Structure 1
Amino acid sequence: MKVTIERTALAKALGHVQSVVERRNTIPILSNVLLQADGGALILTATDLDIEISEEAPADVAGKGATTVSALTLFEIVKRLPDGAQVRLELSSEEGRLQVSSGRSQFALAVLPEDDFPSLSTDDLETRFSMPTSDLRRLLGKARFAMSQEETRYYLNGVYLHAHTDDDAPALRAAATDGHRLARIDAPLPDGASAMPGVIVPRKAIAELGRLLEDAEENVEIAVSSAKIRFGFGAGYLTSKLIDGSFPDYERVIPKGNANVLRVETKDFAQAVDRVSTVSADRTRSVKLALESDRLRLAVNNPEAGSALEELSVDYGGDPLEIGFNARYLLDVAQQIDGETGTFKLADPSSPTVILDEEDERALYVLMPLRV
């Protein structure tokens, strides 16, 4: 194998694929990136056996071939080379090393056989469709904050992606919940997606997708089975195993009849919550919302640290109400609201509250209250 590639192109592709590699591996080959030189490109692939990321970078291929080398080591080398540099990669069969050179810099890196590199099979991905990158970025980006971090509830450690066809507006829907909060986001249902099974995309795959979608092309090609999902980005793809479990019937926890409607200026509200929460207890981060006609008082009382009180003018005509929430959860939801105004639909101090974005009618959030 003998390849010359521009440093920026190599660094970008390496940056995308190496992030999936675990820093500590008991299987040495999983610390490596697979390099394949063919045609006019260098193809880089990395995996942790649950997720596989591959990306193609334009290169001058003087000799075809393949090998694997430490992903982190190669990335750290390339990252430190000057912008615009040409990087030469050459596999020396006699020495069993990958020669990496650029200008006056030369490195000889240990390699492992490419035949030992594992691959995630994608032969059984029967449902295939394409959708705008912006739609997928919005679906996952607005839902991911509500994923659970508790490993014991593994079936909540991801985003539930499924086709919703029960009403007049068919949608590709993303849902996530940790039992305390829920995000439900809809996007137009792409052609060919109505037959897809409901799948739970793992938390790590969602994080990797977030990075890849920043540089992705206009459309994403998606292929799904009951066990795996693959996202294609033109020059690359991400394949992930899915969480083997049943996502709960989240629609049951979305209240339908909350009659007390509160409208707030999102930015002012978030800043006020952030200010008063500075004295809240670290464990609960609780803040009390006291509502009466067109007035909202946010209060925190922490016997150890002190108290805080702030008042906002709001649009509220419902019954007087006091209800508590986790401040961090309130701020997480506020960050997802694109419009200037957020709408809270409340019932009573012990019932779930629905939060809507007035500029995005296809996004819905639910928060469980706290006792304060």
Structure 2
Amino acid sequence: MEFETTKDVLKNPITFAEKATGKNSTLPVLSSIILTTKKQSLTIQATNLDIGVEFTIPVKVIKEGSIAVPGVLLSSVIGNIQTSKKITCSTKQGIFNIITNGDTITLNTTPQEDFPMIPVVQEGDMFTTQSKKFISGLKSVVYAASLSDIKPEFSGVYVYPQQQNLVFVATDTYRLAEKKIPEKSASSFPGIIIPHKNITEILRIFEGVDDDIAVVSNKNQISFSTETIHISSRAINTPFPNYQEIFPKTYTTEATILKQDLIDILKITNNFSDKSGRVTFTINPKIKQCFIAAQNQTTGEQVSTVDAVLSGEDASHDYNYRYILECLQYVPHDSIICKVSSDGKLVITGLGDPSFTYLVAPLMKQG
């Protein structure tokens, strides 16, 4: 094979593909990136069997062919080449050659016979959505997914249709995030759980892509495709729990707060909370006061008053401040509503906007 291109065209697809290669795999070829030239395009493929990626980019093809190159090595070389001008890549007797105006680099290749096909979900449920909307939905909730695979249903993002919306949900049982985006085309989509560790790569690859994404899924697999990008991910087929039952039916206390005020206070809290991130959130509508307090035997104590519009009964509960701070960047409004139930569950939404809902469970009181 032989082709000509530039670093700007090659760098991002190679970098993204390397992230999807298999590390410490019993199948050595999974640590490689497959390069295939055909007609006037280069196809770049990689997989770790949990997620597979494929990019098709335009290049000047001089000779068609296919080769497997160690992913980490190739990504490092392409990323550090200094030229932005023409790069010529070719293979000869199992060696991959990279020639620029200042470099001549040869890389050993690996046998590619055992490289698995990147799955294409051809028979399944499908819808098409805007890339930016879909990525926004995933980003708004993925941080709330569990990092443990002990309960698989909590280790990913559940995506399902509801009326004319596409709903994204994630929970680690200590907090829960839900984001709704308008999407009429997904009404027949049955819902699926995408593993959080694969979502990291999906977000990285589709960030900044303006094209529509075709989403196709069956029980075990889900794929995301544009004209030049294809990603296939394993799906979690353990049923997602009926999370709506977790939300309180009624609330006893409510506070409307400027989002940035709360962010600034919680950033200070980082210096005074304990290992569990404990802060005490107190709302006293009767005396019109709302404050956040944290105490650390090593560093000291913080008590911060929060300007807020208050209603309901007095309430005081402990929460992990990190859980609250982490969600605030995804509330698309300057003001937030904090509602507290009688058992201390804290629910955060944007003022007048039901598209994002976030629930935090209280910590057990100390002593």
TM bracket (short chain): over 0.9
- Pick closer, same or farther for the CA change 1:106–1:360 going to 2, 3 Å: farther
Q: How does 1:222-241 map to 2 (within 5 A)?
A: 222-241=215-234
Partner in structure 2 of residue 140 of structure 1: 138
Q: Give the secondary-structure state (helix, strand or coil) at the position aligned to 2:151.
A: helix
| Aligned counterparts of 1:218 and 1:99: Cα–Cα separation in 2 | 33
Identity of aligned residues (%): 21
Q: How does 1:66-215 map to 2 (within 5 A)?
A: 66-92=66-92, 95-165=93-163, 170-191=164-185, 193-215=186-208
Task: State the Cα deviation string for residues 114-146 of structure 1 (Å, max 9, x = none).
Answer: 332112332543212210112101110101111
Q: CA deviation at 1:275?
A: 0.7
Q: CA deviation at 1:359?
A: 5.8
The amino acid of 2:214's aligned partner reads E
The amino acid of 1:309's aligned partner reads V
| Aligned counterparts of 2:267 and 2:84: Cα–Cα separation in 1 | 44
Q: Give the gaps of 5 or more residues in structure 2.
A: none
Whether contact under 8 Å (1:197, 1:225) holds in the other structure is: no
The amino acid of 2:5's aligned partner reads I
Matched residues, number: 363
The answer to whether the aligner puts 1:337 opposite 2:335 as a matched pair is no
Q: How does 1:194-343 map to 2 (within 5 A)?
A: 194-282=187-275, 284-293=276-285, 294-343=288-337
| Aligned counterparts of 1:12 and 1:126: Cα–Cα separation in 2 | 30
Give the aligned CA root-mean-square deviation in angstroms.
1.6
| Aligned counterparts of 2:176 and 2:239: Cα–Cα separation in 1 | 16
After the TM superposition, which of the residue ranges 219-228 and 101-110 deviates more from structure 2? 101-110
The answer to whether the aligner puts 1:31 opposite 2:31 as a matched pair is yes
After the TM superposition, which of the residue ranges 149-158 and 302-311 deviates more from structure 2? 302-311
| Aligned counterparts of 1:43 and 1:54: Cα–Cα separation in 2 | 7
Whether contact under 8 Å (1:217, 1:233) holds in the other structure is: no
Q: Give the gaps of 5 or more residues in structure 1.
A: none
Whether contact under 8 Å (2:121, 2:216) holds in the other structure is: no
| Aligned counterparts of 2:121 and 2:265: Cα–Cα separation in 1 | 52
Whether contact under 8 Å (2:6, 2:87) holds in the other structure is: yes
After the TM superposition, which of the residue ranges 305-314 and 177-186 deviates more from structure 2? 305-314
Whether contact under 8 Å (1:261, 1:318) holds in the other structure is: yes
The answer to whether the aligner puts 1:355 opposite 2:353 as a matched pair is no
Q: CA deviation at 1:25?
A: 2.9
Task: State the Cα deviation string for residues 234-274 of structure 1 (Å, max 9, x = none).
Answer: 21111101113121111110112114211111111111122
The amino acid of 2:279's aligned partner reads V
Whether contact under 8 Å (2:216, 2:224) holds in the other structure is: yes
The amino acid of 1:156's aligned partner reads F
| Aligned counterparts of 2:12 and 2:350: Cα–Cα separation in 1 | 35
Task: State the Cα deviation string for residues 171-228 of structure 1 (Å, max 9, x = none).
Answer: 211110000100111112332x222222110112211111112131331111111111
- Pick closer, same or farther for the CA change 1:80–1:8 going to 2, 3 Å: same
Q: CA deviation at 1:69?
A: 0.5
Instruction: State TM-score, norm by structure 1.
Output: 0.93
Whether contact under 8 Å (2:54, 2:118) holds in the other structure is: no
| Aligned counterparts of 2:205 and 2:363: Cα–Cα separation in 1 | 37
Q: CA deviation at 1:318?
A: 1.9
Whether contact under 8 Å (1:264, 1:314) holds in the other structure is: yes
- Pick closer, same or farther for the CA change 1:210–1:288 going to 2, 3 Å: same
